[in-house]
Amino acid sequence: MKTLKQLKKIIIAVTGFTVLIIGIITIFLPAPAVIIIPMGLTILATEFVWAKKWQVKVKETISYAANGFRKKETD
């Protein structure tokens, strides 16, 4: 059983970091980095506490930015 848990954690880590790295690369490419980076963090957050903390920070930042843009549009 311990081996299956370790294998699951490794698979999630590899998948999550791959998606996260692709998201970071897409910052410089014409792709939706704002969607891909949180996806990678969400995958990693299923196994890692540090990723959950980053996921919350990114979510708050995106929400704050979206609300800021909405306020500027109405002014």
23-67 per-position pLDDT tens digit: 999 999 988 988 899 999 999 999 999 999 998 998 888 888 878
pLDDT for the residue numbered 59: 85
> Would you call 45 helix, strand, or coil by DSSP?
helix
Q: CA separation (Å) from 32 to 26, 27, 36, 72?
A: 7, 8, 6, 22
Q: Is the pLDDT of residue 73 over 90?
A: no
| 65: containing domain | 2-74
Query: Taking the model in full, what pTM does it have?
Result: 0.76
Tell me, what's the pLDDT at 16?
Answer: 95
- What total number of domains does the chain contain? 1
Contact 66, 31 (CB under 8 A): no
